[in-house]
Structure formats: structure tokens, C-alpha cells
Amino acid sequence: MSALHEDFACCPFCGEALGLQAVRLGVCSHCRAELGKGPDTWEMPEAESENWPRALHPSSTMGSVLPGRLQGAIDNIRGLERGPDVSEDCDFSLLEQLGKGGMGLVYAARQVSLDRDVAVKLLRTDKQGSHSARAKFLAEAQVTGELEHPNIVPVYELGATKDGIPFYAMKQVKGQPWSRTISGAARAANLEIWMRVADAVAYAHSCGVIHRDIKPENVMLGDYGEVVLMDWGLAVSITNENHAPHIESLPAVGGTPGYMAPEMARGETGLIGYSSDVYLLGAVLFEIVTGCAPHPGEAV
């Protein structure tokens, strides 16, 4: 067994076994600790590589360890507006950019093997050198992937490109954000949407997860009546002790000022809990009733 493999057999911080994707992403999937080495330093012993599932098996044709074999579509991701031609080594064909957030880029894509539309989110180019950004991106994918609820977008796959760019594939919800319709919709219709969002939040809380950024902009209304709570980038799990380092490293202020709970605005991370999400739900309800968010302005 190589020295590198011995180094990465277990996380030096929490002691949990490391998966190959955790090493490629440079972040422990259990405690979110930075591994301190680049994604290309992993060496898999030949004997062990034979035991990996086919989707994770390195080969000369794939050139990297990549569950979704996204690399063919990502080779020219910088500035990409239309995905390249589909090849046998590419399961996802990127079609067009759907959105851009503080952490990632979201693309409409086609998963060739299952012949279905999906959305693919990649860590932004300017964030790829940041271990903390990679940790947050990985946490978002894993937290969302653990939650199975009709009003929470399902995650299909998590991986990294041959260049080590993290990505995950999820259901593509075709529709529009609630923020575009909330002001003109009937109060009864808005309350129905609000109740379904509250159902999603209650389920997340039953799993020990706090969203921390509930607002109409993060709720997608599908063309077929779906109501989906999106953007779990600020979410944290408070019941898993392995997540403690990630929770302790939360930024002093997180969320959206117009809806933010007092403890979030004051930067009191130790007080953030389920009640913070309840406050955010109340802030959205306030907007339904009055027509505006409870805290005007764009700054705390």
C-alpha cells in the first residue's frame, strides 16, 4: 500500500474512513474538515481499485474518477453557453446556464444514460481554490441529498471533474421562483404554497437540518404545481456530532437581511437553531399579508 493511501485511509480529524470522492474534493464528507492536500494526490492501490464500483473505477478511457462522467461536458466549462456534443464518455450534456449564485453555476443538462432532463450545479471558477468554499459546496450537496421529501429538490449524483471541480446533478424543476408571483397572487394561493414550504422545513427539522435562508426567491413553483424549497447552501445539520466543526465555522452573518432572524443579524451563531427557520417562515408569512418583507433594505 502506498504512503499516500495510508495517509488518506482515514480522516486525520474525525477518524472516519475516507471515500475517494472526499479525497478528490479535498474535504472530509463526515466532519467537513479540509484534508490539506490537493485533489490529485490520491493513489489507489491496484488491488483495491478492482473492488470499486464500475462508476467510480479509474480507467484509461475515463482519465479520472467521476461518477457521472461529466468531464466531457466540463472540459470547456469556462464561458460555456451550450454544451459540447455528447460522447460515450459523457453522461451529462450541458445545454444552457440557468443561474449563478454566490457559490455555484447551475446548468440545464441532459443525462444521456437515463434520457432525462436534469440540473447540474458546479462550484464557480473563482471559488475553486478555496477549501472553505469546497467544503460548503459539498455540505450543500450532502445535506440536500439526505433529505427525501416532495417539496425538497432531490440530488441524483455528486462528483468531481477530472480537474477536481465539484459538481452535483439534481432534478430540474421547470417553472419560476415564488418571488416573481407572490405580490400578484391571491392570498389563499400564497398560503397554500407557504404551507408546503413549512412541510418541507418541518421535515428537514425532523432530520436535524436547519435551512437558514428561507425566502420566496428560494422556492421554485413548477409548471405542474410543484412547490420546491431550493438553495440549501447555508443549511447545517445540528444533530450529527461529526458536523460540529462545520457549524463552529459558520460565518457570523448568513441569510437574507429582509427576512433574517435577530440572532442571525447579530451574528450569534450559538443561538441559531430550529427557531431561526420558524422566524424566517414567519417573515415570509408577513410578506404574504402585508406585501413586503419585515426588514426593508439590503443590509443588516
> Are domains 65-171 and 175-290 of this chain identical in fold?
no
Residue position matching grid coordinates 433574517: 260
Q: Three-state DSSP class for 272? A: coil
Q: What percent of the chain has pLDDT over 90?
A: 36
Least confident residue range of 61-65, 121-125, 148-152, 229-233? 61-65
Q: Flag whether pLDDT at 10 surpasses 60.
A: yes
Residue position matching grid coordinates 464557480: 124
**Which residue among 7, 91, 199, 213 is the active-site one?**
213
This prediction has a pTM of: 0.68
Q: Where are the beta strands (DSSP E) in the chain?
A: 92-100, 104-111, 116-123, 155-160, 166-171, 175-177, 209-210, 219-222, 227-229, 236-237
Q: How far is Cα 289 from Cα 220, in angstroms, rounded to an integer?
A: 20
Q: Where along the chain do its domains lie?
A: 65-171, 175-290
Query: Can you give the pLDDT at residue 254?
Result: 58
Neighbour-count burial of 289, counting CB atoms closer than 10 A to its CB (0-12 exposed, 13-18 middle, 19+ buried): exposed
**What are φ and ψ of residue 127, in 5° steps?**
-110, -5
CATH architecture of residue range(s) 65-171: 2-Layer Sandwich (3.30)
Mean pLDDT for 116-140 is 87
Q: How far is Cα 227 from Cα 295, in angstroms, rounded to an integer?
A: 25
Neighbour-count burial of 114, counting CB atoms closer than 10 A to its CB (0-12 exposed, 13-18 middle, 19+ buried): exposed
pLDDT per residue as tens digits for the range 17-64: 666 566 556 667 666 666 654 444 333 344 333 433 333 333 323 233
Q: What percent of the chain has pLDDT over 70?
A: 64
Is 115 annotated in the active site? Answer: no
Residue position matching grid coordinates 478528490: 24
Instruction: Give the Å distances, CA to CA, from 83 to 69, 79, 110, 112, 248.
Output: 14, 11, 10, 13, 39
Q: Flag whether pLDDT at 265 surpasses 70.
A: yes
Q: How far is Cα 174 from Cα 197, in angstroms, rounded to an integer?
A: 17
What does CATH list as the number for 175-290? 1.10.510.10
**What are φ and ψ of residue 118, in 5° steps?**
-140, 175
Query: Can you give the pLDDT at residue 237?
Result: 83
pLDDT per residue as tens digits for the range 64-77: 333 333 444 444 33
DSSP letters along 159-216, please? EE-TT--EEEEEE---EEEGGGTTTTS-HHHHHHHHHHHHHHHHHHHHTTEE-----G
Query: Can you give the pLDDT at residue 206?
Result: 96
Longest dimension (CA), the chain: 65
Half-sphere CA count of 178, side-chain side, radius 13 A: 27
